[in-house]
Amino acid sequence: MPLALYTIKDSNTSSVFVIFICSIWPMLINTAFGVASVRREWLNVAKTLEVSHLRTAFHVILPAAAPTIMTGMRISIGIAWLVIVAAEMLVGGTGIGYFVWNEWNNLSITNVIAAIFFIGLIGMLLDQVLAWISKFVSYAE
């Protein structure tokens, strides 16, 4: 975050940049792993049936890789949530991270603990929502 603030010079833009950089990698890595682990038999069947590349991508590769893509999204949303709170603490102004930092400086431990509880609760709810969505893209082999 300090490097982003130094180079970009705008606190909001640098916060978004740091959140993006920190959370994109699990999604990219899981997407690459999911696409690479698509069964060769399925791709060979698509070639045999002379399915176009675009149609193969959307009807064979994407459904097969969707569970691992959703896993990457779950990891990324957790990382993004943590980085959002940390960025708000550094940048200040608004947000729950700023609230925690401000209450810590005011020595209001009960408010800090309540905010930490809500941060954890919101993170857990985000994870549960993505876990619920991932049930729709999962399949039994």
- Range of 54's domain? 2-137
Task: Indicate if the pLDDT at residue 25 is higher than 80.
Answer: yes
Weakest-pLDDT range from 18-22, 69-73, 107-111, 136-140: 136-140
- Rounded percentage of the chain residues whose pLDDT exceeds 70: 99
Q: What pLDDT score does 140 carry?
A: 67
| Length of the chain, in residues | 141
| Cα–Cα distances in angstroms (integers) from residue 37 to residues 50, 70, 129, in the given order | 21, 15, 25
Closest CA to 2 of 105, 17, 81, 78: 17
pLDDT per residue as tens digits for the range 31-83: 999 999 999 999 999 999 999 999 999 999 999 999 999 999 999 999 999 99
Is residue 77 within 8 Å of residue 130, measured between CB atoms?
Answer: yes
The tally of domains found in the chain comes to 1
Q: Within 10 A of 138 (CB to CB), how many other CB atoms are there?
A: 9
pTM over 0.85: no
Mean pLDDT of all residues in 7-20: 86
d(CA 123, CA 74) in angstroms, rounded, equals 10
d(CA 129, CA 73) in angstroms, rounded, equals 11
Kindly report the backbone phi and psi dihedral angles of residue 52, in degrees, each rounded to the nearest multiple of 5, phi listed first.
-65, 160
Q: What pLDDT score does 141 carry?
A: 59
